[in-house]
Amino acid sequence: MIKLNAINDTGLKIPSLTLGCSGMGNLYHKLSNKEAIEIAETAIKMGWRSFDVAPHYGSSLAEIRLGLALRDLSRDEFVLSTKVGRLLEPRREAGLENGEEFYDENPFNRIYDYSYDGIMRSYEDSIKRLGTRRIDILYVHDIGKYAHGTTDKERKYFKDLCDSGFKALEELKKNGQIKAYGIGANETEIMLEAMDYADMDIVLLAQRYNLLEPHKEEFFAKCKKYTITVAAAAVFASGALVKKNINEGHYEYGKITPEVFTKVQQIGKICDKYNVPIGAAALQFPLRQKQVVSVACGVSSAAQVKKNYEWAQWDISDELWNDLEKIGIY
C-alpha cells in the first residue's frame, strides 16, 4: 500500500514510494525524449505521486523531461524534490564531461557551489527547467567525503554550506518557496555532522540503507534526536539486488563484486522460499524503519515503473523478515 507519511511539522506529506528520475537523465542508458517522458507519464497513470530529480542528472536533461511529463498534473497532487549544490554552465569544449555515467547529456559543465548565492540560483534554475511554481523539498546534493574526498575543498564546501547555504534554504522555506530541506548524499557521516549546524527536515540517503547495508543505528538515533525524517534511495543497490547475473547491473556505480553477488544470492534464496521477488523485499525493507518516510526507486523504463509499483504493494510475511534477521539483516 502506498501510504502518505508526514515530514515532521512541515505540513508536507510524502508518499512512501518516490520515482527516482536519474534514469530520465540517461544514467547508464541512452533514452529518447519520448522514452524518458513515458517513464514519468506511466508512473502518473499508475498513481505515483512523488518525484525526485536533480540538475546533475543528464546535466539538466532529467529536470526538463520530468517537467514536461508533469505539465498536465495539478501541482497540488504530487510531491516534487530536486537538489542544489551544482550549477550548470554552458560547455564550450567538445565532448562529454560525464559521459561514463550520463549518455548524450546536455552540454553543460557542473560547477559545485554550496553558498547562499549558489543555492538561490540553483533553485531558480530548477524552477524554470521543471516549469513549476514551487519545489516541495530541496536536498543539498553530494556534499561530503564520498563525493569530494578527504580534501581541503571538501571542507570548504561544507563551510560554505554552514556559513550561508543553510541560510538560503531557511529563507526559501520561510517564504513558502519550499516546504522542507535536507541533504541528499551517499554517506551518513556528512549528514550526522550537518545535524549540529542546521534544522533539517528530511535527508535523502542513497546506497547506504538497503538489504546489503542494513545497520545504521547511530544514524537513525541522531535523526530521531533531531526529529529528522529519512528518504531511502538506491534501495536496489544500483541494481545489484535485482540482477541474476554478476555481469549485469552496477554496485556503487561500478561492477558487481563476487562478494556482493554471493550475498544477493543468499538473500534471493530466502525470498524464493516465500515466493517473494527479491525486488519487493529490497523496496519494502527500508520502510520497516519508522523514520523512513519514502523509498526512491530509480528506473530506466516504463516496465520498471510498473514492476516497482507492484513490488511496493507485495504482501510479505513476518517469516521472511525473521529469516533475513537470522543472516544479519534487520
Positions marked active-site: 52, 57, 83
Task: Please report where in the chains the cell 515530514 appears, as a residue.
Answer: 7
Residue 187 near residue 145, CB atoms below 8 Å: yes
| Beta pairing class for 50-52 and 137-141 | unpaired
- Angle value at C-alpha 34, between 33 and 36, nearest 5 degrees: 65
- Angle value at C-alpha 198, between 192 and 201, nearest 5 degrees: 85
List the grid coordinates of 252: 556503487
Rounded-to-integer distance, Cα 94 and Cα 97, Å:
9
CA distances from 167 to 133, 160, 163, 216, 271 (A): 21, 10, 8, 29, 46
Rounded-to-integer distance, Cα 276 and Cα 218, Å:
30
List the grid coordinates of 310: 507492484
Nearest Cα to 303, choosing from 34, 84, 109, 38? 38
CA distances from 18 to 2, 42, 81, 286 (A): 10, 13, 10, 13
Residue 307 near residue 28, CB atoms below 8 Å: no
